[in-house]
Amino acid sequence: MALPSLSLSLQFGDLKDAARHRAALPRHTVIRCIRHALEADAEITVRIVDADEGQALNREYRGKDYATNVLTFDYAIEPVVMADLVLCAPVVAREAKEQKKTLAAHYAHLLVHGTLHAQGWDHETGEADAEAMEAREIEILAGLGIKNPY
């Protein structure tokens, strides 16, 4: 079965330790992670930001005044998935260290997570939805050679 097509814009904000984050997110890896999570063709922008930008976006769009690991801005699901995924580099790095994961593996998980959100998956609507989304993430990540992140 062919994977959906993806038009990707990969952007890096003004980051401390930018080389480390760029090394963990080569374009071909970002494309692979997202395409494996897609159920339809997509146009997605992935932006890697610092804590200030991440906090400002989370505050403005979700009313939560802290930087979070990934924000998904979904604009369309059909006929083409259109979304922006914003990943906060310092939060991702801190979580990877706390969870004893590689930075690349944690980014892969969050790319899959954000891509599922862009397609309507939601873990905040109830326990059954959260369990279904986690199971789907685990399945996709296993297909990418990444162990269960939970």
Question: Which residues are annotated binding-site positions?
Answer: 113, 117, 123
Q: Which residue has the tokens 């990540």?
A: 141
Give 145: exposed, middle or buried? Use CB within 10 Å, 0-12, 13-18, 19+: exposed
The angle subtended at Cα 104 by Cα 101 and Cα 144, nearest 5°, is 95
Give 137: exposed, middle or buried? Use CB within 10 Å, 0-12, 13-18, 19+: buried
Residues in the annotated binding site for Zn(2+) = 113, 117, 123
Task: Report whether 120 contacts 130 (CB < 8 A).
Answer: no
Q: Which two tokens stand for residue 109?
A: 């998980």
